[in-house]
Structure 1
């Protein structure tokens, strides 16, 4: 009985957790630079997920493109951030590219994640599932969905934090340069006033002589 209960707990956990391959990266793209990444899909019983967010650089817009092994363009858009879920049509190597040709001078700092989730639950025999196991699976699916929502919220907050920090740094730089220009103008005007006064008194002395 104990072994059956343990098996009832382990089975759905393995079904939900095994076979998830994810890669989270941060990259910086220079102006007019194109960067591509690849992931291998070995089974059609998978979900291919692709998330990215531009944290810094220019207007935050980036051109993203996803290509299937057969050369089919699955995504070709320009966004600040996006979250895609695909059902692979063929197995093989999928290509994920970022194109920063929209910006000539601005670098882009991009966080992105590529994950391949194998749906192993479809391979479990239905006859071996009792009511308790199905109930546990439903709870785990609900938990997985909630974790996904929390992850999405954290990504959004992280992106907002990066962009806010970038705005603060940009504002600080502008204030510094404006203050520097203001100081130079004040010194220049003061020096010009002194020169004008000196010329005025020199002219007055010459007229008296």
Structure 2
């Protein structure tokens, strides 16, 4: 293939795939709790943070993002979904915290997707394989296009699974509410039926007592 060996082709693929560092996480945030994540970034790199509340309560959460100098870069309250894209302006540890402190009853399940582009710590250093410049460029462009299509497909699948999980959670919650309402209606019907029987029985008991008094006279 264009005069390139298989090891060279594989190294090119790995080199391209390592240009972007990404991690996905789904975690449970208890009620009246706060969870923070830390990431060390370099100046000039770009990061993308996407989050979504999958289940729990009204499907909302608070998020605050701070720079190493304690500058608030992002702060939103009671949101279900959002995507943040920033360029790093100072070296250091960036902190983003999810808070469910406003809820005292329900816990939340939150999905986060963290991507970093341009950070040297996420890139492969050192000399690459010695191949023809034109051939390597063609290989890189093809692999990059395939990589972008695969990432797009993975994103679609991830969001589809999230929507499915959210819909399933809402359906289960609705089913539980319907069951509780049906049980309440059943108990109410039983109470009304028993009350009706007792009321009718009291009517016949009064008549029987009146007839007995007439015969005694």
TM-score over 0.5 (shorter chain): yes
Task: Tell me if structure 1 keeps the 8 A contact 2:44–2:89.
Answer: no
Task: Give runs of aligned pairs for residues 20-31 of structure 1, distance below 5 A.
Answer: 20-31=20-31
Q: State the superposition RMSD in angstroms.
A: 2.9
1:193 aligns with 2:192: no
TM-score computed with the length of structure 2 as normaliser: 0.80
Matches within 5 A, 1:6-25: 6=5, 9-10=9-10, 12-18=12-18, 20-25=20-25
- Deviation of residue 28 (structure 1)? 1.7
CA distances 1:92-121 after superposition (whole Å, capped 9, x unpaired): 211111122343422211111323344649
In structure 1, list runs of 5 or more residues that go unmatched: none
- Structure 2 counterpart of 1:94: 94
Q: Deviations over 1:146-193 (max 9, x none)?
A: 122112212211111111111111121112111111111111111111
Of the candidates 146, 149, 159, which is equivalent to residue 146 of structure 1? 149
Cα–Cα, structure 1 residues 148 and 84, in superposed 2: closer, same or farther, change >3 Å?
A: farther
Q: How many residues align?
A: 205
Q: Which residue of 2 aligns with 1:161?
A: 164
* CA spacing shift, 1:60–1:129, aligned 2, 3 Å: farther
Measure, in 1, the Cα distance between the counterparts of 2:11 and 2:165: 40
Structural mapping, 1:58-97, within 5 Å: 58-78=57-77, 79-97=79-97
Query: Which protein has the larger Cα radius of gyration, Structure 1 or Structure 2?
Result: 2
Instruction: Give the ranges of 4+ consecutive aligned residues of structure 1 lying more than 4 Å apart after TM superposition.
Output: 119-125
SS where residue 27 of structure 1 aligns? strand
Question: What are the ranges of 5 or more consecutive residues in structure 2 without an aligned counterpart?
Answer: none
In the alignment, does 2:130 pair up with 1:131?
no
